[in-house]
Amino acid sequence: MLNQDSVQKELKYVRLMEDLKGKILSGEIRMGDKLPSENELSSEYHISRQTVRKALSILENAGYVYAEHGRGTFCSKPAHRNRNSKNIAVVTTYLSDYIFPRVIKGIDTVLTKAGYSIILKNTKNSRSQEANCLKELLEKDIDGIIIEPSKSQIYCNHMDLYEKLEEYQIPYVFIQGCFSKMRDKPQVLMDDCKGGYMITKYLIEMGHKNIIGVFKSDDIQGQNRHKGYVLALQEADILYDPDKVIWFYTEDRKVHAYESIYHMAVNDYPMDAVVCYNDQIAVKVIQGLNDAGFKVPENVSVTGYDNSYIASNNGLKLTTIVHPQEKLGEMAAELMLDLIKCGEETGNNRKILIEPEIVIGNSTCKKTTCNDKHTSYTI
């Protein structure tokens, strides 16, 4: 049984090893850089030289560093990198929720046929968790990564990890969104601006003018769908009113849209239609309207986005934008295979933009008279 001194000694070398490995993976210590001497590390971490040697030995065995007699210890690429592992990592914000199972199915269909296996990771739309996933994957034998970035509208503060992927020549493909500073990287996206424009224009053509918008603020999809909403209003000479836009974040998505719409409805805020960020939010909006005594679509038309499995519920079929979930996954996997096969010859700028398409349901109808709970509509 280990005594307390032995446990403390064990923790000290592990702490040093993990700290140095983290600096290597983050790019703070780069390939070819000389590490501090044993004496310097011993002094900095308040540990013995024997403990320092143990940590460096483990890192050397793992391929992170190499020692040169009389010169010191240097950073190297991890020796375990295998360019033909037949493993592709797939990192999404969620795995079993909403549209993601079908996206993953599309990826898996193409990669399995090509003889690859997939390593699934999810971030729960957390930036820190995305960084942790990338750090973990940098230690594995993988041939590439297909990744849906977390909170893609917010500045990426772990660019160093993506730079590390490029240093190790691990190709990556963005799906669903992309960080602003990485727009030249390979990606497969919906044309969300056009989708937001098309569905708002449809409502305007149905006679609606007091159109509320509900959008997600921390990903690029929400920002682009909002842009499309604004463009359609401007084209129709309808004044854009920021008070008619509800912004929500990942963390409050389950309550904010419902509470905001409910509050607007019970206070008789003028509205005859609601454009929603996606189908999940549309369901929350409809619940809020119903609880406030409004009927959909008789009093208020509601649209979704994604044409997900929840677009049809209790006889109500959302008017929504088609999201070719499996097809998007297949396209991302095919692009990844192309990058693996051709390498740098394909170039970075491989952007696939999927055209949106409207599916008309019974959650919207034509407005014919004034906007209140007794509005008359024609289907």
**pLDDT average, residue stretch 50-66:** 89
Question: Which parts of the chain are beta strand (E)?
Answer: 65-68, 72-75, 87-92, 117-122, 144-147, 172-175, 187-190, 211-216, 245-248, 273-276, 301-303, 312-313, 316-317, 320-321, 351-354, 358-359, 366-367, 377-378
Residue at which a domain ends, from 75, 95, 126: 75
Residue at which a domain ends, from 44, 75, 106: 75
Both 368 and 242 in one domain: the answer is yes
Both 66 and 123 in one domain: the answer is no
Evaluate if residue 379 carries a pLDDT over 70.
Answer: no
Both 176 and 310 in one domain: the answer is no
Using CA of residue 312, residue 355, residue 217, residue 234, what is the dihedral sign?
Answer: negative
Residue 168 lies in a domain: yes
297 prior amide bond cis, ω within 30: yes
Both 318 and 199 in one domain: the answer is yes
- Tell me how far the alpha carbon of residue 215 is from its chain's centroid: 15
Evaluate if residue 35 carries a pLDDT over 80.
Answer: yes
- Closest residue by Cα to residue 228 from 188, 271, 189, 198: 198
**pLDDT average, residue stretch 111-125:** 96
Q: What is the pLDDT of residue 375?
A: 45
Render pLDDT for 166-216 as a digit per residue (tens, 0 to 9).
888 899 999 999 998 899 999 999 999 999 999 999 999 999 999 999 999
The residue among 247 and 58 whose pLDDT is bigger is: 247
Both 365 and 349 in one domain: the answer is no
Both 263 and 204 in one domain: the answer is yes
Domain count, the chain: 3
Q: What is the pLDDT of residue 377?
A: 39
In the chain the first and final C-alpha atoms are separated, in Å, by: 77
The residue among 60 and 238 whose pLDDT is bigger is: 238
Render pLDDT for 266-304 as a digit per residue (tens, 0 to 9).
999 999 999 999 999 999 999 999 999 999 999 999 999
pTM value is: 0.80
Residue 97 lies in a domain: yes
Least confident of 15-24, 108-117, 171-180: 15-24
The residue among 182 and 379 whose pLDDT is bigger is: 182
Both 103 and 60 in one domain: the answer is no
Instruction: Tell me which residue range forms the domain holding 279.
Output: 193-322+359-378
Q: What is the pLDDT of residue 82?
A: 55
Both 107 and 254 in one domain: the answer is no
Both 66 and 27 in one domain: the answer is yes
Residue 221 lies in a domain: yes
Residue 80 lies in a domain: no
Render pLDDT for 133-153 as a digit per residue (tens, 0 to 9).
998 898 888 999 999 999 999
Render pLDDT for 231-272 as a digit per residue (tens, 0 to 9).
999 999 999 999 999 999 999 999 999 999 999 999 999 999
Residue 81 lies in a domain: no
Residue at which a domain ends, from 34, 50, 75: 75
With pLDDT > 90 as the criterion, what percentage of the chain qualifies? 72
Both 243 and 372 in one domain: the answer is yes
For 275-338, give the DSSP string: EESSHHHHHHHHHHHHHTT--TTTT-EEE-SB--GGGEETTEE-BEEB--HHHHHHHHHHHHHH
pLDDT tier for residue 9 given thresholds of 50, 70 and 90: low
**pLDDT average, residue stretch 297-314:** 94
Q: What is the pLDDT of residue 370?
A: 40
Query: Which residues are CB-contacts of 221 (< 8 A; sequence separation ≥ 6)?
Result: 152, 176, 177, 190, 192, 277
Evaluate if residue 222 carries a pLDDT over 70.
Answer: yes
Mean pLDDT, the chain, rounded, equals: 90
Least confident of 64-68, 110-114, 239-243, 275-279: 64-68
